[in-house]
Amino acid sequence: MKIISWNVNSVRARIDNVTDYIKENKPDILLLQEIKTQNENFPSDAFKKYGYDSYVFGQKSYNGVAILSKFPIKNVSNDFIDDELKQSRVIKGEILLKKKKIEIFNIYVPNGNPVETEKYSYKKKWLKQFVSKIQKKLLKSSNIIIAGDFNIIPEEIDVYDFKRYENDALGKLEIRKKYRELLNLGFKDIFRLKNKNKQEYTFWDYFAGSWQKNFGMRIDHFLLSNNLIENVVSIKINKKPRSKIKPSDHTPIELQIN
């Protein structure tokens, strides 16, 4: 089974890129972040043509997450987090893999910049709540996938110039520690597990030729609970969509499990 996570930075502005990508890569499940639209304007019909059902948690203008799937997803919900700003950032559902029930969380963590503002404290509180809810969830369920745009640079290797980001909301130790807390509950960062010293990125800024200069960062992740590690076949960052015309600033990360 191929599960893919991609921050598309507006699903409507990106519709051709996303459908082209689907045709080429044929994911079983595609987790989208930053869809930037309300549910009623989500292009479900365009995805239905390729055989996907859409499960959408949108809002006007900003944020928003969705799950596209070739087969029905069970127990989809949007209320895992009690979001103080009512932003649409988590959608979860259940699938079966070789009789294992797996809970999939598709998340879009707040950016948090600039630090020293309420945006940063919102990110900290959001992460604190998310970690705590996942900890509780683990008491009942041991097969969990958390994927999406974490807006966290886990380690120095995960950005082109760490010095520039060590005081940024994506790279501050305080934030990276929340990521470590999540891992310490019993998860693995699958990309890093499979690529010990590889420097690869999932995001490149639109400006200043960041893509051309490979000034990127790895902020989109797949965390799998330790129970699921044996099911992992491969994990890949697919840079091709970032090279296209009118791209998202993020590129997909692709997980194969069986």
| End-to-end CA gap in the chain | 6
Count the Cβ atoms, other than its own, within 10 Å of residue 131.
15
Q: What are phi and psi of 122, to 5 degrees?
A: -60, -45
- Alpha carbon 32 to its chain's center: 7
Nearer to DNA, 81 or 97 (CB): 81
Q: How far is the CB of 250 from DNA (least distance, A)?
A: 7
Interface stretch with DNA, choices 44-52, 54-62, 124-132, 233-241 (CB under 7 A)? 54-62
51 lines the binding site for DNA (CB under 7 A): no
Count of residues near DNA by CB under 7 A: 37
- Alpha carbon 57 to its chain's center: 14
- The residues in 2-41 that bind DNA, with binding defined as CB under 7 A, are 7, 9-10, 12-14, 34, 36-38
Per the listing, tokens 């997450």 go with 65
189 lines the binding site for DNA (CB under 7 A): no
Interface stretch with DNA, choices 97-105, 126-134, 159-167, 225-233 (CB under 7 A)? 159-167
Show Cβ contacts of residue 198 under 8 Å, excluding neighbours closer than 6 positions.
none
Interface stretch with DNA, choices 46-54, 191-199, 231-239, 245-253 (CB under 7 A)? 245-253
**From CA 15, how far away is CA 19, in angstroms rounded?**
6
149 lines the binding site for DNA (CB under 7 A): yes
Per the listing, tokens 């296209």 go with 244
| Whether the bond into 114 is cis, omega within 30 of 0 | yes
Q: Where along the sequence are the contacts to DNA (CB under 7 A)?
A: 7, 9-10, 12-14, 34, 36-38, 60-63, 110-111, 113-114, 119, 149, 151, 164-165, 167-168, 170, 203, 205-209, 217, 219, 246, 249-250
